[in-house]
Amino acid sequence: MDHFQYLLLMAGCLVLTAPLELLGARVYRQPARLARAVLPVAVVFLAWDAIAIAAGVWTYNPRYITGLLLPFRIPVEELVFFLVVPVCGILTYGCVQAMLARGQSR
Amino acid sequence: MTGLGYTLPAIAAVLAVCAWELLALRTGLFRRPAYWLTMLIVLGFQIPVDGWLTKLSAPVVEYSATQVSGLRGPWDIPVEDFLFGFALVTAALLLWERQRKCDRRPAPASGRRPAERAESR
């Protein structure tokens, strides 16, 4: 199970933030808008990741990742991270906005 | 430590994202209380999640000592990670916000959006 630590952490983030959609975030209901917000940013950060890995700025403990590598020796977990973290941020933003709007209209 | 590998790019990323908004996108995101509240919440969750990845007792990610400032926060999170996280989440929120239709302004007191009012006229 240790090899799935990083992936399980990311899964936990998705599970924890999923209810925000029902609290008014309205993010997963706009999949195209979500993709246009998350994917370009993920590409830039993957490029940064690739450079940092090649330069030895950071390394991944083989014990806690699956070992599946993308091009440029990027662990697949990193791609998941760059998708999951912004989605969680947008869900939070959507939910906060919905709650502030509800407070205003009361 | 030189910090060249991570500290400088992390600072540059924050500056780049801010410049992108202020000079090009101009979505008004930074004027929205919802944005700053979101970033506070994100910061609160970054500490346990990022901390899990960086804790020195069983690190998932390890940083070259010569490439970071050496300042590490709770659970040994490198201070650079907070800049990295800010840039990552803010960039995605900017692209999300840029695609916002109609309701550029916060909802008026009536609770109806300006666009809806225009449509119902």
Name the closest residue on chain B to residue A44, using Cα atoms: B88
In this complex, is the C-beta atom of A70 within 8 Å of any C-beta atom belonging to chain B? no
Chain B residues touching residue A38 (CB < 8 angstroms): 92, 95
In this complex, is the C-beta atom of B91 within 8 Å of any C-beta atom belonging to chain A? yes
Q: What is the mean pLDDT of residues B67-96?
A: 94
Q: Among candidates B21, B52, B16, which has minimal Cα distance to B35?
A: B21
Domain boundaries, chain A: 2-105
Q: Could you report the per-residue pLDDT of A21-56, keeping only the tens digit for each?
A: 999 999 999 999 999 999 999 999 999 999 999 999
Q: Could you report the per-residue pLDDT of A5-23, keeping only the tens digit for each?
A: 999 999 999 999 999 999 9
Given pLDDT bands bounded at 50, 70 and 90, which one contains residue A106?
low
What global pTM score does this model have? 0.88
DSSP secondary structure of A32-73: HHHHHHHHHHHHHHHHHHHHHHHTTSEEE-TTSS---EEGGG
Name the closest residue on chain B to residue A103, using Cα atoms: B111
DSSP H stretches of helix in chain B: 7-19, 33-54, 79-98, 114-120
If one counts every other C-beta atom within 10 angstroms of the C-beta of residue B47, the result is 14
In this complex, is the C-beta atom of B83 within 8 Å of any C-beta atom belonging to chain A? no
Domain boundaries, chain B: 7-104
Among partner residues A33, A45, A64, which is closest to B88 by beta-carbon distance?
A45
Q: What is the mean pLDDT of residues B56-66?
A: 92
Among partner residues A6, A55, A97, which is closest to B60 by beta-carbon distance?
A6
Q: How far is CA A67 from CA A12, A62, A87, B73, in A?
A: 20, 7, 24, 28
In this complex, is the C-beta atom of B53 within 8 Å of any C-beta atom belonging to chain A? yes
What pLDDT score was predicted for residue B105? 53
Given pLDDT bands bounded at 50, 70 and 90, which one contains residue B26?
very high
Residues in chain B: 121
If one counts every other C-beta atom within 10 angstroms of the C-beta of residue A87, the result is 19
Percent pLDDT > 90 in chain B is: 71
